Amino acid sequence: MAQVFSRAADTYLRFALVGGAVLVLGLLVVGGGLVRSSYLTRQYLAPGQPVPFSHRHHAGQLGIDCRYCHDSVETAASAGFPPTHTCMTCHSQLWTNAEALAPVRASLATGTPLRWQRVHDLPDYVYFNHSIHVQRGVACETCHGPVTDMVRIYQAAPLQMGWCLDCHRHPAAHLRPKDQVFAFHWQPPADQEEQGRQLVAAQGIEPRELDSCYVCHR
């Protein structure tokens, strides 16, 4: 009876199986890394803006409160972008002829709003409300990072679902007293977990419900 397969066929098959397994494993590793990379999450990326606004200068060195520009952060889902007249409150008196502020002056003269580029841009299928988080003791710094150190604002967190769920499932580790929500470089106390649990109880927060789909996907 003639031999159908050569003696080397078994070796070839073994190499093919091992090679296929290595290829699949490699694709999983590369895919997992790609999903978490800044290429997709946009973490640490700083898009260009119509005006070279420095948060380090305004919020850090000058100490301007976040709410001066983002005036709806405590009352609305969106923190809001500052309108031109907010900028001109100061810059009608300071650096009035600065070349960098030409777009601001043009915006005021024409009534055309500045087109600020959104840095923290969640997908349309995600519901996020700034006021709910701020009112419960989630600080700006928790999500936006060390804004007072940023010359150009960038996305400090990955903003992936797992990152959000870590906080939703363990809010005690992240909550602050309300008078510290807008503070930067805040250091949690040694008993943060205990104080956090007290804040969770006082706010009526139910961690068991915070990872339900409907909370963020409505």
Q: How many residues would you count in the chain?
A: 218
The two three-digit tokens of residue 28, written as one number: 């999983």
Q: Summarize pLDDT for 181-216 with one digit per residue, the tens.
A: 999 999 999 999 999 999 999 999 999 999 999 999
Which letter, b or e, does each residue of 182-191 get, where b requires 16 or more Cβ atoms within 10 Å of its Cβ?
A: bebeeeeeee
Angstrom distance (rounded) from CA 48 to CA 211: 34
Tokens (6 digits) for 159? 């903003």
Contact between 158 and 45 under an 8 Å Cβ cutoff? The reply is no
Orientation angle between helical segments 84-91 and 102-110, nearest 10 degrees:
120
**Res. 28 pLDDT band, cuts 50 70 90:** low
pTM over 0.75: yes
The residues, ordered by sequence, that sit 6+ positions from 93 with a Cβ below 8 Å of its Cβ are none
As a whole number of angstroms, the distance between CA 67 and CA 57 comes to 16
How far apart, in whole angstroms, are the C-alpha atoms of residue 105 and residue 35? 41
pLDDT at 196: 97
CB contact at 8 A, 85 and 91: no
